[in-house]
Amino acid sequence: MGAGAWGTAFARLLATRGHEVLLATRDAEQARAIQETGRNPRYLPTIDLEGVSATTIDDRSLAGADLHVVAVPSHAFAEVVRALPGAAPVLSLTKGLDPESGGRLSQLVERRAVAVLSGPNFAEEIAEGLPAAAVIASGDTRLGEELQQAVNSMAFRVYVNDDLVGVELCAAAKNVMALAAGGVDGLGLGDNAKAAVITRGLAEMARLGEACGARTETFSGLAGMGDLIATCWSRLGRNRQAGELIAQGAAPEDAAAQIGTVEGLTTAPVLRDLSHRVGIELPITEGVCRILDGEDLNDLAASLMGRQPTRE
């Protein structure tokens, strides 16, 4: 469900594992083009989708699926899962929080089993068959292990984790930290500053996770540190790119228009509000929200550096 870059790459990944894959998109013309050419003309157009069929997301035949893999932006997740036909389990590839309820996306999946896949997984590299690793989290141990066996390959190593809360919060929060890291790049503040933002960002993520009932060690794993490093450093990181553009003077909406889906822009205020509800301080997240509200990035950098020194 969702024929963007990540949905397309994951569809190809599943097809190479021998699964029968149906890639569902909202756009009938896009589905037709994929079906006729074996390629997605809008996303990763050079990638051969042999073994992948295409249809529209409202196709009732999807009720017969053994698994629904949802790879849509966080703001569309609720609508998509509410309309899913049948009773098959859901594997979420979406990294964000629900902007309406402020909750984790798995909490929107009702009356069916759910798992979440996360980690340092850039769609472009996965589609090209480059080696990567990921974690699948689920409160249903059997489902997590079944999905691990279904997805794991020599090019895509999959671990399982029962800390669904931690993996989902990592996936959401790392995008906000990547906006901040991109801001450091945009201002030319150097690698020392960027490393400091990433490190303190990881501490901030873990603090939020602990307050929400997650396990601290999850934030040192693939969904936490792994994905955070990739998102903040790689040229492929959309959130990092957006932060860089915003630091150079672009409006957030203009950065998103140039790059595509930038989950951190949606997640930042939701993450901030969540921290207020659980009573913890997230200075980097708060700072990103202030920038998105129009504050000058140089002023914010000065205020963050001027905070009262404390113990690490």
In the numeric block, which tokens belong to residue 143? 């489902």
Q: For residue 196, what are the contacts with CB-CB under 8 A and spacing of at least 6?
A: none
Q: Which of 12, 95, 104, 174 is flagged as catalytic?
A: 174
**What would the 3-class secondary structure string for 107-120 be?**
HHCCCCCEEEEECC
At 152, phi and psi to the nearest 5?
-60, 140
In the numeric block, which tokens belong to residue 112? 């069916």
Q: Is 174 a catalytic residue?
A: yes
Angle between helix axes 252-259 and 263-278 (nearest 10 degrees) is: 130
Strands (E), the chain: 21-25, 52-56, 68-70, 90-92, 114-118, 132-138, 156-161
Q: How far apart are CA 97 and CA 99, in angstroms?
A: 6
Q: How far apart are CA 91 and CA 77, in angstroms?
A: 12
Task: List active site positions.
Answer: 174
